[in-house]
């Protein structure tokens, strides 16, 4: 469907996050239940979900399967959320699928209208059904128990590292957040988790017993064996991809995995005489890992400039502290009405455009720069500097905010 108005989709962001499966299940049935009978793998967690889905999809493809992968958020263009065999679907294909979903999205027989994320989830499933994929791989958007990706029954569930994030929605502590993620488990389902801290491990184990899921935790040596050359903090996600994929494809091995993580996860690109590190780290654990990456890779273990921005009610100064300790200069970026409040008295930049200008000047002179935080910062800065991954290089022209939307 040429020139479909994606503004109709983005307008649904105004309703915010809507958790609960009743409405999306009703709409899924009305659409003919796409992918209900196709093998599916689902990934929940806090850090490493997107990296795991990327590795899993590429591994399955290398093993000869036709794979439909659904991820969120996106860096540059909404169609990158829906990929078949590693390639983003064409914009007109996504538009046609969204149009089909919107015919039922506001049906009064549903318990409520569908959200932005729910429409996209059902559109992705419709596309995968039409493309006759062999395997569907789904990244949960938020939580797990009530997330829209639970509309199809997954053959197996992968759990990446669980940490503190989205406490305003998922709960104030690790146990609360873990319960929401554990809620994605189903009776008899194979569940594979990376190693977790004791409070999280207890919650996952207790819930698995209560619903009859077959949970196992990966061992450290299993992770080391599949780590490849990925950064240490992403090695568990890479190893989880193999373990999860083997539920459907027993012959899957680390040899099927991609050599590099997905773009924007600790990606280092040359720029002028310097380098830029791009990382969508936006919670405590991820930013601590980003700081360790800078310590290992930057000259002298320090970056010349860090630009950081996040959304919601988070405290940017507290979040970025582990990374800021590895930087000579830190600038916070204003991400608009949905952005987190800027620290009082902080050196602030007016948005991604000014951030890109600062980073470009510093890197061109030979500096080491880090762009970290929200997808809404990392994606636009990469595009403005011309260093974005080829498939992500076209900014979305119909997002009325001018920034990529969050899940």
Q: Provide the token pair at 184.
A: 């994605």
Of the two residues 169 and 381, the one the predictor is more confident about is 381
Contact between residue 160 and residue 46 where contact means Cβ atoms under 8 Å apart: yes
Q: Can you give the pLDDT at residue 354?
A: 98
The average pLDDT across 317-339 equals 95
Contact between residue 383 and residue 80 where contact means Cβ atoms under 8 Å apart: no
Average pLDDT value over all residues in the chain: 92
**Measured in whole angstroms, how far is the alpha carbon of residue 174 from the centre of its chain?**
19
**pLDDT tens profile 222-268:** 999 999 989 899 999 999 999 999 999 999 999 999 999 999 999 99
Q: Can you give the pLDDT at residue 403?
A: 38
| Tally of CB atoms within 10 A around 87 | 10
**Greatest CA separation found in the chain?**
62
How far apart are the C-alpha atoms of 370 and 356, rounded to whole Å?
11
User: Is residue 169 very low, low, confident or very high in pLDDT (cuts 50, 70, 90)?
Assistant: confident
Of the two residues 173 and 25, the one the predictor is more confident about is 25
CA 346, 330, 317, 380 torsion-angle sign? positive
| DSSP H or E run through 139 | strand 135-139
Written out in words, the top-level CATH class of the domain with range 265-388 is: alpha beta
Helix axes 22-30, 91-105, angle to 10 degrees: 110
How far apart are the C-alpha atoms of 357 and 333, rounded to whole Å?
12
Quickly name the fold that domain 7-256 has: 3.40.1190
DSSP 3-state assignment of 257?
Answer: coil
**Statement: residue 18 has pLDDT above 90:** no
Question: Burial letters for 203-241: b for 16+ Cβ neighbours within 10 Å, e otherwise?
Answer: bbeebbeeeebebeebeeebbeebbbebbebbbbbbbbb
Tokens 């977790």, residue located: 196
Q: Which of 375, 374, 369, 387 is nearest to 340 (CA)?
A: 374
CATH 3.90.190.20 placement within the chain: 265-388
Bridge partner list, 394: none
Interacting residues of 336 by C-beta distance below 8 A, sequence separation 6+:
351, 401, 403
User: Is residue 14 very low, low, confident or very high in pLDDT (cuts 50, 70, 90)?
Assistant: confident
**pLDDT tens profile 99-120:** 999 999 999 999 999 999 999 9
How far apart are the C-alpha atoms of 74 and 365, rounded to whole Å?
30
**Assign residue 92 a region: left if phi > 0, alpha if psi is -120 to 50, beta otherwise?**
alpha
How far apart are the C-alpha atoms of 360 and 367, rounded to whole Å?
9
Peptide bond into 232 cis (omega under 30): no
Q: Provide the token pair at 9.
A: 């989709």
Distance between first and last Cα of the chain: 24
DSSP 3-state assignment of 367?
Answer: coil
- pTM of this prediction? 0.91
| DSSP H or E run through 70 | strand 67-70
CATH 3.40.1190.10 placement within the chain: 7-256
Q: Can you give the pLDDT at residue 401?
A: 36
Burial of 9 from C-beta contacts in 10 A (0-12 / 13-18 / 19+): buried
For 42, 214, 240, 265, 296, the CA distances from 87, given in Å and listed in that order, are: 19, 33, 22, 18, 32
Q: Which of 43, 46, 50, 75 is nearest to 285 (CA)?
A: 46
DSSP 3-state assignment of 41?
Answer: strand
Burial of 313 from C-beta contacts in 10 A (0-12 / 13-18 / 19+): exposed
**Statement: residue 161 has pLDDT above 80:** yes
DSSP 3-state assignment of 217?
Answer: strand
**Statement: residue 402 has pLDDT above 80:** no
Tokens 């040596």, residue located: 221
């Amino acid at each position: 469907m040429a020139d479909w108005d994606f503004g109709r989709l983005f307008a649904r962001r105004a309703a915010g996050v809507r958790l609960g499966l009743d409405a999306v299940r009703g709409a899924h049935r009305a659409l003919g239940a796409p992918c209900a009978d196709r093998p599916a793998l689902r990934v929940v967690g806090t850090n490493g979900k997107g990296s795991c889905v990327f590795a899993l999809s590429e591994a399955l493809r290398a093993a000869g399967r036709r794979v439909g992968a659904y991820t969120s958020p996106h860096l540059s263009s909404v169609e990158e959320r829906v990929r078949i065999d590693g390639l983003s679907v064409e914009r007109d294909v996504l538009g046609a699928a969204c149009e089909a979903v919107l015919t039922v999205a506001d049906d009064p027989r549903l318990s409520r209208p569908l959200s932005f994320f729910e429409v996209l989830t059902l559109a992705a499933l419709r596309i995968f059904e039409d493309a006759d994929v062999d395997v569907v791989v789904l990244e949960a958007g938020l939580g797990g128990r009530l997330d829209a990706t639970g509309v199809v029954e997954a053959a197996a569930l992968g759990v990446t590292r669980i940490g503190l994030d989205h406490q305003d929605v998922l709960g104030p502590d690790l146990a609360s957040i873990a319960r929401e993620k554990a809620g994605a488990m189903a009776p008899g389902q194979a569940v594979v988790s990376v190693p977790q801290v004791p409070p999280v491990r207890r919650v996952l184990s207790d819930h698995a017993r209560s619903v009859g899921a077959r949970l196992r935790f990966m061992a450290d040596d299993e992770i080391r064996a599949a780590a490849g050359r990925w950064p240490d903090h992403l090695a568990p996600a890479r190893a989880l991809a193999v373990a999860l994929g083997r539920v459907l494809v027993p012959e899957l091995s680390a040899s099927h995995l991609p050599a590099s993580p997905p773009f924007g996860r600790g990606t280092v690109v040359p720029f002028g005489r310097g380098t830029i590190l791009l990382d969508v780290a936006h919670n405590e654990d991820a930013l601590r890992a980003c700081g360790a990456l800078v310590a290992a890779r930057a000259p002298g273990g320090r970056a010349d400039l860090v630009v950081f921005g996040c959304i919601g009610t988070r405290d940017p100064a507290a979040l970025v502290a582990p990374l800021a300790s590895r930087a000579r200069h830190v600038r916070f970026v204003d991400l608009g009405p949905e952005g987190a409040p800027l620290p009082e008295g902080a050196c602030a930049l007016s948005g991604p455009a000014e951030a890109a200008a600062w980073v470009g000047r510093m890197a061109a002179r030979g500096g080491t720069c880090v762009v970290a935080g929200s997808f809404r910062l990392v994606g636009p800065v990469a595009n403005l500097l011309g260093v974005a991954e080829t498939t992500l290089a076209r900014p979305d022209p119909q997002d009325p905010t001018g920034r990529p939307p969050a899940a």
